[in-house]
Amino acid sequence: MEYLMNQIARLNKFIRDLEMALVRIENKTYGICRATGKLIDKQRLRIVPHATLSMEAKMSRKSDDIPNTSQTPAAHMGSEGEGFGGEE
């Protein structure tokens, strides 16, 4: 049952994302990265039609999420993988 609820939530979010992409088309802002203001690559938009970030901005944002590796090893114990897994 929980699996179905998660699937429904994901599909609802996908529909909202597509509806917002339609609004951006109407506003003539579709395909413009909201972080850099540059055009999003057409191939990315074919794969992820509701994308609001260019790959450059997405990778930059993802690298900001990576924990600071200059900490001592003891500070990292038990925290491997935290902060990852969510797709924009």
Q: How many CB atoms lie within 10 A of CB 51?
A: 22
pLDDT at position 85 over 50: no
Would you say the pTM of this structure is higher than 0.75? no
The residue ranges of DSSP E strands in the chain, in sequence order, are none
Tokens of 68: 């600071």
**CA 36, CA 6: separation in Å to the nearest integer?**
32
Question: What residues does each domain of the chain span?
Answer: 2-65
pLDDT of residue 76: 34
What is residue 39's three-state secondary structure? strand
pLDDT at position 18 over 90: yes
Q: Counting Cβ atoms within 10 Å, is residue 52 exposed (0-12), middle (13-18) or buried (19+)? A: buried
Start-to-end C-alpha separation, the chain: 25
User: What average pLDDT does this structure show over 2-21?
Assistant: 96
pLDDT of residue 67: 66
pLDDT of residue 53: 96
pLDDT of residue 49: 95
Is the CATH number 1.20.120.910 carried by domain 2-65? yes
pLDDT digits (tens, 9 = 90+) for 21-63: 999 999 999 999 999 999 999 999 999 999 999 999 999 988 8
**CA 41, CA 87: separation in Å to the nearest integer?**
18
